[in-house]
Amino acid sequence: MRPIDRSTLRGATVVEFVVVIPTLLMMIMAVLQAAFAFHAKSQVNHATAAAARAGSFNNASMNSMTAAFTRGMVGYYGGGTSLAELTQTQGRAAADLVQANVRIEVLSPTTESFDDYNSPALQTQLNTGNARVIPNDNLGFIRCPRDVAGCNSNPATNSSGQTLADANLLKIRVTYGIPQEKQMPMVGRFYTWALAKMNPNDPDAFRSSLVQRGRIPLVAHTTVRMMSPPIEGGNGSNPGPGNNGNPQDPGNPPAGQPLPTCPWWDASCASCPDGVSTPGCKPETCSAAAS
């Protein structure tokens, strides 16, 4: 055999290193970035639930929900083992959780919910000024506010498409952007670059601004039942009437295939007791058996 000239193999390991190691490092960093995003999403879910609970007991107040969300995110920003450390961490969280970086939206009750179920008597009693109020007590026995007995409580014809009980469900949506200092180097930038390229005409201006500033957007939803009368406030949802205010009956769905008439013990319908022409019972084994 012709001996191998080792001088011709010099540098092969360096080439392999240059090709493999960067690729392997990027893959590992991408996995770590996904883990960081999962951890952030878990924390945002927790904080969103805390915000919804606070809103439930405080008339759907945006201020109370914002404060509760900030407290719920303290663990994500470092936590602490003493009151002083927790206070310091909450200050850092509050400094980052400004309106430019997090958005809390009230999806329900909507503007139309207050149109249908506002109680002027509660407005006066709670001294809310022009802010409308939906009653929250005795929902199992009333369909309209006591002082507006003639309201339209039929979801099929009113503005909100809700009953009074439905209007007392607080649903919020939180959009939060993971800051760059909590992202993997290079991979985090690749995430935001890819998001911008995949959705260059994002209709959500807030989410688009997060991506442009290098933040990875996360979205969380929570629904709870109100424990206090909802008071109309900021960041409310106004979906408007569907189909431009002209609802239409979509009609019956198309008829599906009939169920196969196979024995109960033959889930794959392989025996074909009614023959291969039976609708819904035409597996390949039927054709094979028939031939």
Domain range summary for the chain, segments of one domain joined by + = 16-109+168-241
> Contact, 159 vs 241, CB < 8 A?
yes
pLDDT of 150 reads 85
Percent with pLDDT over 70 in the chain: 79
Taking only the tens place, the pLDDT of each residue in 54-112 is 999 999 999 999 999 999 999 999 888 889 999 999 999 999 998 889 999 999 999 99
Identify whether the C-beta of residue 178 lies closer than 8 Å to the C-beta of residue 33: no
CA angle 177, 69, 94 (to 5 degrees): 70
Pick 245 or 211 by higher pLDDT.
211
For residues 177-193, average pLDDT? 89
Of 279, 289, 241, 226, nearest to 65 (Cα)? Answer: 226
Of residues 52 and 24, which shows the higher confidence score?
Answer: 52
Q: Can you tell me the mean pLDDT for 17-36?
A: 86
Band of the pLDDT at 253, cuts 50, 70, 90?
confident
On the question of pLDDT at 166 being above 80, the answer is: yes
Residue 178 sits at φ, ψ, to 5 deg, of -65, 125
- Does 265 have pLDDT greater than 60? yes
Distance CA 167, CA 158 (A): 12
Mean pLDDT across the chain, nearest whole number? 83
Cα of 163 vs its chain's centroid, Å: 24
Per-residue 3-state assignment (H helix, E strand, C coil) for the chain: CCCCCHHHHCCHHHHHHHHHHHHHHHHHHHHHHHHHHHHHHHHHHHHHHHHHHHHHHCCCCHHHHHHHHHHHCCCCCCCCCCHHHHHHHHHHHHHHCCCCCEEEEEEECCHHHHHHHCCHHHHHHHCCCCCCECCCCCCCCCCCCCCCCCCCCCCCCCCCCCCHHHHCEEEEEEEEEECHHHCCCCHHHHHHHHHHHHCCCCCCHHHHHHHHCCCEEEEEEEEEECCCCCECCCCECCCCCHHHHCCCCCCCCCCCCCCCCCCCCCCCCCCCCCCCCCCCCCCHHHHHHHC
Q: Tell me whether the omega of the peptide bond preceding residue 155 falls within 30 degrees of 0, making it cis.
A: no
Report, in angstroms and rounded to the nearest whole number, the Rg of the chain calculated over CA atoms: 29
Measured distance CA(144)–CA(165) in Å, rounded: 10
pLDDT at 248: 66
- Give pLDDT tens digits for 97-127: 988 899 999 999 999 999 999 999 999 999 9
Residue 173: strand pairing partners: 105, 221
The bridge status of strand 102-108 relative to strand 216-225 is unpaired
> According to the model, what pLDDT value does residue 287 have?
43
